[in-house]
Amino acid sequence: MSAFLDMGGYAAYVWPAYAVTLAVIALNIVWARRLLKRSRKDALQRLAIGGSDQ
């Protein structure tokens, strides 16, 4: 296990690389869902104020 974590001496490079990439993936998921949620809320708000014209 510790041999695996050591990555043949490259741990200081390999793990940060994976960490950054996985962080980017996770953040993308969070951002995308937040965008969708926010625009849903905005749309509801607009409907509440203006009703639908045209």
Interacting residue ranges for another protein, rule: CB under 8 A: 4, 7-10, 13-14, 16-18, 20-21, 24-25, 27-29, 31-33, 35-36, 38-40, 42-44, 46-47, 50-54
Q: Least distance in Å: CB of 8 to another protein?
A: 3
Alpha helices (runs of H) in the chain, residue ranges in sequence order: 2-6, 11-50
Alpha-carbon distances, residue 3 vs 6, 31, 46 (angstroms): 5, 36, 57
Cβ-based nearer residue to another protein, 2 or 36: 36
Q: Least distance in Å: CB of 37 to another protein?
A: 8
